Amino acid sequence: MTVRVRVCHLYPDQLNIYADRGNIAVFRSRAERRGYALDVIGVGAGESLAPDSDLIYLGGGQDREQALIAPDLARRGDEISAALADGAALLAVCGGYQLLGRGYRDRAGVEMPGAGVLPLDTIAGDRRMIGDVSIECELEPGDTHSVVGFENHGGRTHLDPDAVPLGRVVHGFGNDGGSGFEGCRLGRAIGTYLHGPLLPRNPWLADWLLSQALGRRLGEAPDLEPLDDELEHEAHAVALGRARVRGGKFR
Ligand code: GLN
């Protein structure tokens, strides 16, 4: 029997800037090439979280889209934390990442409530932080990887002192342009500012998340069989080269 990974895609109609939906296509392709199936359940405002989810996904969105779903997402904090405690993995990008924290104050001074799942707050600054980013990530001790992407955010995200960032900024701004941190990691949950979409050029991160999701389904995270990632590595190298030249300028 084919093992099926269940993905709960929150607010697919509102949070899908810069083709962030492409991350789901990467999960699907990398799962199917290993003989697993991926079921994606889109969940909008007012609908209940997909039960028995192995992976929860939220893309990015501008302030306007975020304001549409923020009150709904804020009510889901306990539900999402319960899914994480039950072993689900999570990926949230930019607008989704911000609203998984305690809240986001936008450029106009509007306070949006957050889900309070991640230990962080976000406040918009005057200038947007736009450009290519590279970070160094160590999700498993001693196993460091370069992760690349594109950031475009006005929000400055401040992690609580005991929070764990996703990685250290090598080129670009990251969470706030000053701390040297990018993203946040809480167990199997990852929040990040990196678009691209993120996963096509970071297959290692895609497989880490997929393996965590499969871990919930199977009882243990499997070692995924390697794929031919020549193109993906080339895409990573191109993005890394751009980050060296174009990362970290205010626009
Ligand atoms: N509206 C948020 C900001 O500008 C998030 C933008 C995004 O998702 N790209 O900070």
For residue 119, give the CATH number of its domain.
3.40.50.880
In a domain, 59, yes or no: yes
In a domain, 77, yes or no: yes
Q: Which of 69, 94, 150, 156 to mutate to test the pocket of ligand 1 (most atoms within 8 A of CB)?
A: 94
In a domain, 251, yes or no: no
* Ligand 1 site residues, Cβ closer than 6 angstroms: 17, 60-63, 66, 94-95, 124, 152-155
* % residues pLDDT > 70 (the chain): 98
Instruction: Please give the residue range of the domain that contains residue 145.
Output: 4-246
Interval between CA 247 and ligand 1 midpoint (Å): 17
In a domain, 86, yes or no: yes
- Total domains, the chain: 1
Flag whether pLDDT at 251 surpasses 60: no
At 250, is the pLDDT very low, low, confident or very high (cuts 50, 70, 90)?
low
pLDDT in tens, 58-97: 999 999 999 999 999 999 999 999 999 999 999 999 999 9
Residue owning the nearest CA to atom 5 of ligand 1: 95
Give the tokens for residue 241: 């080269």
In a domain, 93, yes or no: yes
Flag whether pLDDT at 248 surpasses 70: no
Catalytic residue positions, numbered = 94, 195
Distances (CA, A) of 71 to 24, 39, 48, 167: 25, 27, 14, 29
Buried b vs exposed e over 34-51: b needs ≥16 C-beta within 10 Å? bebebebbebebeeebbe
